[in-house]
Structure 1
Amino acid sequence: MSVGWIKNISDETLLRDLLIPGTHDTMTGPCQKRYYKTQTLSLSEQLEAGVRYLDIRLTRDLYAAHREWKSDIGGETILETLKDFLNRNPEEFVLVRFQNANEKKDDFDRYCPALKGLVGRYSDLFFEFSSAQKEKISELTVGRLRGKVLAFECSPHEYEATRAGALHWAYPWHDCPGLAIQDLWDGPAVEEKIAAVTNALDCPAWKDRLVLNHISATNGEPGYPDAYAAVLNETVLRGVRDLAAGSGRLAGVLIFDFVTEEIAEKIIKKG
């Protein structure tokens, strides 16, 4: 079990220099629809396995969902799980991306106030910025983040969803200073996806950024998330092992579909 792996890392270590296991569409463990299912482990199981990046997609009534699939897991339950985990493991931290699960993106006027209301009730859980626009996420250190959720929020800027009252609780997902994202997800050839992941792992132009490197994909010839994961996960683990054995830079967040305890442990050990 890798539940307390961050406690062994120096406070002065930059977030961008860590190798962090993460999950895409984190809450789909209970989903029984193949196209929408991307995980088998529950949120608690992922955290206990060492996963430290989560992708939380909520409806406007604050239930976890993935496209047309909607769970009975509420946003408050998710934050309570995170709160309990960090209370028990105060030297850890968790990166969390929050996103409107509605693919039509036509209800931000309802989603954003609901989300900000939820966040306001858990204000102590979140890392707070003096000014997220001026403080690059790539410059944050481990010591500043311990015991907190470091959040991203994906809504358009005009809805000001990254603020809940006076609390600046999240970095904007889009145009975030110091952030680089690889997310070639919509039907790439397997070889093309592997190249994108590998390049992001050791990209000189991104060495001063926090890199969010998605292993996940769907559509295309494989057709489904599980079919991509069956090839990509093991291939990426081999690539990480080879980079660790060489002199290449090995850092960033590796965001998996169908993460396992073994995958998370291997990523942590190579970081």
Structure 2
Amino acid sequence: MSSTSMTDWMSSIDKDTNVIDMSIPGTHDSGAYNITAFPSNWIKTQTLNLKQQLEAGIRFLDIRLGWDSAAKIMKVYHGEGRKATYCNLDFYAAGRDNTVLGICANFLRDHPGETILMSLKEELSSSDFDSNVRSIITNTTSLWYRKESFPTLGEAKGFIILIRRWNWPQHYDNFGIDMSPELWNKAKGNPKVFNNSMVQDDFDAKGNETGQSAKTAKWWSIQNTLQLALSKPLGSRFILNFLSATKWTKLLDPKDFAVGSNNDGMLFRTQNWLNSYKGRYRLGVIALDFVGASGTQDLIPLIVGRNAKPDWTLSDLPSPQDYTPSKVFSYQFLGSLVLFFRSADTGRIIWRISQDGSSWPPSAQIIDAALTDQSLNAVSFQGTLYLFWKNKNASTDTTKNTIHFSTLIDNGTITNSSNWTPPSLINSADTTSNSLCTIVHQRKLHIFFNANDQTGRILHTMSEDGSTWPPAKPIDALGPTTHSIVSTLFRGEVWIFWRGQDNLMHYGHSSDLDHWICGKVTGDPQLGSSMGVCVSDGLIYLFFRAPSSLSGGQYTKISYTSSSDGQMWSKASTLIDDVKTENGLDSIEFMRSGGKLVKYVFVVSEPSASDQPHYIKYVSDVSV
């Protein structure tokens, strides 16, 4: 993943996740990057400035402070007491954007789905430090999450979570997470455990003190804490694991420990460890020195990638008697989840309605006049529900490969007894495609489908009133495609996804449908003949058939990938394994009663034997 995709990575995490249950990249001595004092190699810990760190995905900042009584300003220092060195960075000054709080405030303004954990430590001691730092925080109170326990991500989005690492003369309610020196320094062991927190800060590389070399000792401390993080149950404690160290007696400065030589630095070792432990799990905060060093660019995405995805619940939707489902399409209309599917026996279109997304009526409604080979799509336009399909009739019928549509008659409510208008023909849409998609954009109803000339071109027609359609025209920028086409709206643009002739996923997006930006879904996941798309929590989700190792590489797995910008995509994750389906796959975000948004993926599961029935499975993202 690039730094671009890391800029908004928290937006993809379930908002109900507590920050102590996350894997979060951070930096140690985050402000020590612009060092002019001598010897700078013992003071400098970063090469990226604060803005660059945040844009690279860093979400924990370790800020060391001191009050300059002459200048009457709070400054950033590195080194305690007389060794404290000014880092040419100020903590706060009203109206200045180049301070720590100015940089963080601007970042959170531009990325409101993110949060920053900030540890504030008194590095240069003074009698009036406490009163001055409290005054600054109080005067910038809209920036801070100051409660005394760690919040969920949803509670903290847009805020700086205050972690207090300075002593105070008296207790003040709601002034951050208490990690004051009296707790920190009293705690024994490696890592230290105190106040519901576990902290590895083996800054002088003692390790387990068994005669190890300095770097081996420091790595022992890091790896031991990583293993403890894996073993602790979620919700148990906040974990903070510093990769930083120095060793004066061995002439090893911060960069020697972080980067080292021959890949023996802590950044390389941690990156290799993460590559060897696949999966999604909580690691806590991992605080880095010299983040982004050459050869370790994958470290931040590896940490972020460990954050657990929401659980999915698999359910069976009993098929109505006498109907064998094949193609499936879902749509939300008038507060109900409407599921359309094709009867494989007759080609008729069946529809079922659920008011809550979990209970389904025992019977299904037949749309008598609709016959289809495969393609189904529905959309609401000007208050009316439209159903589109590729027509199926006798081989001699001249309308066999055309697209037809019907509209729902009674629009005030939707029930199994609702009626549909007689089918209407779209003369301009001649297709051999098993896939078509629709979208409403700029008050027009648009249809995209394959050409009937076997070129794989994607054609487009649109209507301003839902009844008259101009001749369809090819979109030269899109395609060629062999089968699947799906569409969605994302950030005010129309997005089209299709399976290319290279069997990979491609996309094109446009705001005016004349000028298209196209590309491949990164990671190049191979897919079968079906895919679904939906937008949820500011992300595009793509669901698709993929080869499964359980079936010797056959396309019996449903996987998904997601993106916050449509350019960089997450590594594909398995949703369902060992399910046989050819064309029955669709996805939707449905709002349940109470305003809870849930993602659904519907799959037509085909039997392993010819005498067994098809049935519909659906997977719901219940934790969203």
Same fold by TM-score, threshold 0.5 exceeded?
Answer: yes
Classify the secondary structure of the residue corresponding to 1:101: strand
1:138-187, Cα deviation, whole Å (9 max, x unpaired)? xx311111111011111224354xx4xxx723111144632111111114
Match in the other structure for 2:191: none
Match in the other structure for 1:63: 75
Q: 1:51 aligns with which of 49, 52, 58?
A: 58
Query: Whole-Å Cα distance in 1 between the matches of residues 200 and 179 of structure 2?
Result: 13
How far 1:205 moved relative to its partner? 5.1
**Map 1:250-261 → 2, pairs under 5 A:** 250-260=282-292
The runs of 5 or more residues in structure 1 that have no matched partner are none
Matching of residue 42 in structure 1 with residue 49 in structure 2:
yes
Determine if contact 2:205/2:218 at 8 Å carries over to the other structure.
no
Change (3 A) 1:100 1:239: same
Query: Whole-Å Cα distance in 1 between the matches of residues 195 and 78 of structure 2?
Result: 27
User: What letter is aligned with 2:34?
Assistant: P
Match in the other structure for 2:255: 226
1:20-41, Cα deviation, whole Å (9 max, x unpaired)? 1100000111114110100000
Classify the secondary structure of the residue corresponding to 1:168: coil
**Map 1:1-271 → 2, pairs under 5 A:** 1=3, 2-32=6-36, 33-61=40-68, 62-67=74-79, 68-76=84-92, 77-102=99-124, 105=125, 107=126, 109-129=127-147, 132=148, 136-137=149-150, 140-160=151-171, 163=172, 168-174=174-180, 175=183, 177-188=195-206, 189-203=214-228, 204=231, 208-219=236-247, 220-221=249-250, 223-230=252-259, 231-244=265-278, 249-260=281-292, 262=297, 263-271=299-307
Query: Whole-Å Cα distance in 2 between the matches of residues 58 and 159 of structure 1?
Result: 20
Change (3 A) 1:172 1:185: same
Query: Whole-Å Cα distance in 2 between the matches of residues 98 and 206 of structure 1?
Result: 27
The runs of 5 or more residues in structure 2 that have no matched partner are 69-73, 93-98, 184-193, 207-213, 260-264, 308-624
User: What letter is aligned with 1:66?
Assistant: H
Change (3 A) 1:200 1:270: same
Classify the secondary structure of the residue corresponding to 2:42: coil
TM-score by length of 2: 0.39
User: What letter is aligned with 2:76?
Assistant: A
User: What letter is aligned with 1:212?
Assistant: L
Query: Whole-Å Cα distance in 2 between the matches of residues 242 and 34 of structure 1?
Result: 32
Determine if contact 1:55/1:96 at 8 Å carries over to the other structure.
yes
The structure 1 segments of at least 4 consecutive aligned residues displaced by more than 6 Å after TM superposition are none
Query: Whole-Å Cα distance in 2 between the matches of residues 64 and 115 of structure 1?
Result: 12
Query: Whole-Å Cα distance in 2 between the matches of residues 191 and 206 of structure 1?
Result: 28
Determine if contact 1:222/1:228 at 8 Å carries over to the other structure.
no
Change (3 A) 1:74 1:97: same
Change (3 A) 1:89 1:215: same
1:218-238, Cα deviation, whole Å (9 max, x unpaired)? 115252000000111100111
Q: Aligned-pair RMSD on alpha carbons? A: 2.0
Matched pairs, number: 253
Q: Rg: which structure is higher?
A: 2
Determine if contact 2:130/2:168 at 8 Å carries over to the other structure.
no
Change (3 A) 1:222 1:232: farther
1:95-151, Cα deviation, whole Å (9 max, x unpaired)? 00001122xx4x2x211111111111110100132xx2xxx43xx311111111011
Query: Whole-Å Cα distance in 2 between the matches of residues 217 and 24 of structure 1?
Result: 10
Query: Whole-Å Cα distance in 2 between the matches of residues 78 and 11 of structure 1?
Result: 26
User: What letter is aligned with 1:213?
Assistant: N
Change (3 A) 1:159 1:26: farther
Determine if contact 2:146/2:177 at 8 Å carries over to the other structure.
no
User: What letter is aligned with 2:226?
Assistant: L
- If each structure's helix is expressed as a fraction of its own residues, which one has the higher value? 1
Query: Whole-Å Cα distance in 1 between the matches of residues 88 and 20 of structure 2?
Result: 34
Determine if contact 1:63/1:73 at 8 Å carries over to the other structure.
yes
User: What letter is aligned with 1:228?
Assistant: F
Query: Whole-Å Cα distance in 2 between the matches of residues 110 and 51 of structure 1?
Result: 31
Percent identity for Structure 1 against Structure 2 = 24
Query: Whole-Å Cα distance in 2 between the matches of residues 173 and 222 of structure 1?
Result: 30
User: What letter is aligned with 1:26?
Assistant: S
Q: Which has the higher contact order (CA 8 A, sep 6+)?
A: 1
Query: Whole-Å Cα distance in 2 between the matches of residues 87 and 30 of structure 1?
Result: 25
TM-score by length of 1: 0.87
Classify the secondary structure of the residue corresponding to 2:273: helix
